[in-house]
Amino acid sequence: MSVEAPEKDLEIKKAGGEELSPALVAAPAQRVAESGTWEQVRALARYMTHTEVHTYAFSVAAQVILSLFPFIVLLLTISQKVFHSPAMTNMVGQMMTYFLPSNQDFVMRNMRVLANSHAGTRVFSLVMLFITVTGVFLPLEVALNSVWGVKKNRSYLHNQVVSIGLAAGVAILAMGSIALSAGQREVMAKVFFGHTDNFLYNLVTQGFLRVAALAASIGLFFLIYWALPNRKVPARAVLPTAIVVGVMWEAAKYIYIFALPYLDFRAVYGPFEVSVGLMMWAFISGLLLLGGAYVSATRQALREARADDAEREAS
């Protein structure tokens, strides 16, 4: 059903305690037609060209790089000191090969050195993780609030609590995937009577690891979409988007890996190519995340607008 309304006088709809327009977008607001997908694609393209979207994505990318390495040290420390599991420790490295687009061996070799150093280094990494993770979620909250039409952001302390909670949720997702993958390998080793150096074993274990990594990615996007905006967001409004963005993120990673030799960061940045490559990938990931948030918000606004129209017609 199309909504016929002048561009300057769009009807405001109620959605979860917030006033939302059928044309819900970040400022400056533009109308999204209800009929057809092409109009929504065009609106998404306009949104992705907004300067604030790129500003948020770059800000998130910088903070992700600062928090990534302490996060890996945390995963290694938990695997070694809490679970005392060499299998889980090795699985952290293998899991990172699916999340990092390049230089995985270089990154994990240095992270293992940090994780095996004295306790003071691990404590400092944890402190840095708490500091930098808020820098990841703070601009994301502002961006998602803008997309969902929320004008009031959380207070600084409230944002700190939410950021730490989300970081804990991400750590639980990661450790769950690592534990499941490590356990699955042990089970498969028994099934194959210890003969693990064969094609079928590698196919099954690597396939399971890819599925676990993809599930963790989808869970990460869902947590951000659902918990970070400063309003109640229906899970059904963001779960399909989280699944689609998770799959697109995985596909984009392989495209980025294919393009890396042609980008040739080493020729420009020399020994800093690792940081630059990770930064660019984090920026692309930020754009995908914000694009997905925009789609889920606009579709939910239109869904609630249709429900209000149907209720009004019925009455």
* pLDDT tens for each residue of 25-78: 333 333 454 445 788 888 899 999 999 999 999 999 999 989 999 999 999 999
* pLDDT of res. 7: 42
Other Cβ atoms closer than 10 A to 232: 10
* pLDDT of res. 2: 42
Report the pLDDT averaged over residues 90-118: 86
* Boundaries of every domain in the chain: 52-314
Report the pLDDT averaged over residues 112-121: 83
Q: Quickly state the pLDDT bin for 184 (edges 50, 70, 90).
A: confident
Q: Flag whether pLDDT at 295 surpasses 80.
A: yes
The size of the chain, in residues, is: 315
Name residue 15's beta-bridge partners: 18
Report the pLDDT averaged over residues 196-224: 89
Give 120-150 pLDDT, tens digit per residue: 888 888 888 888 888 899 999 999 999 998 8
Burial of 48 (0-12, 13-18, 19+ CB in 10 A): middle
* pLDDT of res. 15: 40
Are the C-beta atoms of residues 29 and 301 closer than 8 Å to each other?
Answer: no
* pLDDT of res. 28: 35
* pLDDT of res. 309: 74
Strands 13-15 and 18-20, bridge-based pairing: antiparallel
Helix H, strand E, coil C: the string for the chain is CCCCCCCCCCCCEEECCEEECCCCCCCCCCCCCCCCCHHHHHHHHHHHCCHHHHHHHHHHHHHHHHHHHHHHHHHHHHHHHHCCCHHHHHHHHHHHHHHCCCCHHHHHHHHHHHHCCCHHHHHHHHHHHHHHHHHHHHHHHHHHHHHCCCCCCCCHHHHHHHHHHHHHHHHHHHHHHHHHHHHHHHHHHHHCCCCCCCHHHHHHHHHHHHHHHHHHHHHHHHHHHHHCCCCCCCHHHHHHHHHHHHHHHHHHHHHHHHHHHHHCHHHHHHHHHHHHHHHHHHHHHHHHHHHHHHHHHHHHHHHHHHHHHHHHHHC
The CA distance from 288 to 273, in Å, is: 23
Mean pLDDT highest for which of 24-28, 95-99, 106-110, 193-197? 106-110
Quick one: CA dihedral 173, 229, 291, 284, positive or negative?
A: negative
The CA distance from 274 to 281, in Å, is: 11
Q: For a pLDDT cut of 90, what percent of the chain falls above it?
A: 36
Specify the pTM.
0.81
